């Protein structure tokens, strides 16, 4: 039954992806009307995020960003569908990469590369990076860290999608094991980390000011980069026009092990905020990024165990004497 469902999903996705992008963008315009005008998909959350992140902007300016966001988000959906069948030449035209020579220099000097990127512009198209390093295919493994989707069939489909251009999808829980395995094979690696998601309560070790919010952040990417003393780059993406992106490799640090603890993560979020402020409509505003607050963390944190208590919040407050 599951295999049959996967085949149906694949065939539907495949047939849609065969359509030219100009037709897919027409579908995107229709989807925008449904998602924004009729359904109002997470509109209250998006509106709150924009108000909190851009208090200096007027209401009219934020509404303009809001409309542009939903237009782009619908474009992102059809662009991701297209990734299943888009030709290598076409994807290379539609997302170009600058400063690749600097990354090649890292490889030539025998260093691995950690790539930081965010849920910004079309991050799925970034999986085409291997096409821009054809001379390094035999000695470098191109990887991307991913969270396994709950739906097994959709997970298989996305793995197929993301691997079409030579990138290997590495489950987050297996990151360290796979990197050690690559090193034993005598190869270098370049691995992309989308590190702007919300960490689980017990994975919070650092809070940063990000877009006017006290924000819990992942630090696992930094620990891996420092452990293997890799060079670290940020992928600064711009949307040039509909269906076309420019991604620039920005060197954050050579020899990550030499960086103070937390510095790489701070640098990453500083770069990401600059990207967002430059083109604010292209960040994933429908994601509930700030659902875990520092105040709640402090209430839940148990000093005796050194862990976050996942019990009922009101009960924890009563037990700590915060409320009666």
pLDDT category of residue 157 using cuts at 50, 70 and 90: confident
- Those residues with Cβ within 8 angstroms of residue 324's Cβ, 6 or more apart along the chain or in another chain: 318
DSSP of 124-168, one letter per residue? Answer: GGGGGGGGG-GGGTTTEEEEEEEPPPSSHHHHHHHHHHHTTTSPE
pLDDT, mean of residues 107-131:
97
Give the single-character DSSP code of 173: G
- Those residues with Cβ within 8 angstroms of residue 209's Cβ, 6 or more apart along the chain or in another chain: 215
Position 50 scores a pLDDT of: 98
C-alpha 74: how far from chain center: 17
Q: Tell me: the pLDDT tens digits for 34-80?
A: 999 999 999 999 999 999 999 999 999 999 999 999 999 999 999 99
Position 1 scores a pLDDT of: 67
C-alpha–C-alpha distance, residues 77 and 69, integer Å: 12
Name the nearest CA neighbour of 125 among 192, 29, 32: 192
For residue 173, the cross-strand partners are none
pLDDT > 90? residue 320 = no
Cβ contact 96:245 at 8 Å:
yes
The rounded mean pLDDT for the chain is: 95
Position 276 scores a pLDDT of: 98
C-alpha–C-alpha distance, residues 323 and 316, integer Å: 9
Name the nearest CA neighbour of 247 among 135, 115, 142, 138: 115
Quote the pTM value.
0.95
pLDDT > 70? residue 324 = no
First to last CA, the chain: 53
């Amino acid at each position: 039954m599951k295999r049959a469902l996967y085949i149906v999903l694949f065939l539907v996705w495949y047939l849609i992806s065969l359509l030219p992008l100009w037709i897919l963008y027409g579908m995107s315009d229709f989807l925008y009307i449904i998602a924004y005008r009729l359904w109002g998909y997470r509109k209250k959350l998006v509106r709150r995020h924009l108000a909190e992140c851009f208090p200096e902007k007027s209401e009219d300016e934020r509404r303009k960003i809001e409309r542009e966001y939903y237009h782009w988000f619908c474009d992102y959906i059809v662009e991701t569908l297209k990734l299943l069948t888009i030709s290598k030449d076409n994807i290379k035209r539609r997302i170009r990469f600058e400063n690749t020579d600097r990354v090649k220099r890292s490889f030539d000097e025998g260093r691995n590369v950690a790539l930081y990127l965010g849920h910004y512009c079309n991050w799925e198209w970034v999986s085409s990076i291997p096409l821009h390093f054809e001379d390094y295919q035999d000695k470098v493994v191109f990887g991307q860290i991913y969270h396994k989707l709950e739906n097994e069939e959709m997970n298989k489909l996305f793995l197929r999608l993301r691997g079409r251009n030579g990138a290997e999808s590495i489950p987050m829980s297996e990151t360290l094991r796979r990197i050690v395995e690559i090193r034993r094979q005598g190869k270098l690696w370049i691995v992309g980390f989308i590190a702007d998601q919300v960490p689980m309560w017990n994975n919070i070790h650092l809070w940063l000011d990000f877009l006017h919010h006290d924000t819990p952040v992942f630090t696992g990417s930094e620990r891996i980069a420092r452990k293997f003393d890799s060079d670290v780059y940020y992928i600064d993406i711009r949307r040039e026009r509909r269906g076309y992106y420019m991604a620039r490799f920005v060197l954050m640090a050579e020899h990550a092990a030499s960086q103070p603890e937390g510095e790489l993560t701070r640098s990453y979020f500083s770069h990401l905020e600059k990207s967002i402020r430059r083109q604010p409509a292209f960040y994933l505003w429908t994601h509930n990024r700030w659902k875990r607050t520092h105040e709640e963390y402090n209430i839940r944190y148990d000093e005796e165990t050194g862990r976050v208590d996942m019990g009922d919040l009101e009960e924890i407050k009563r037990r700590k004497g915060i409320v009666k």
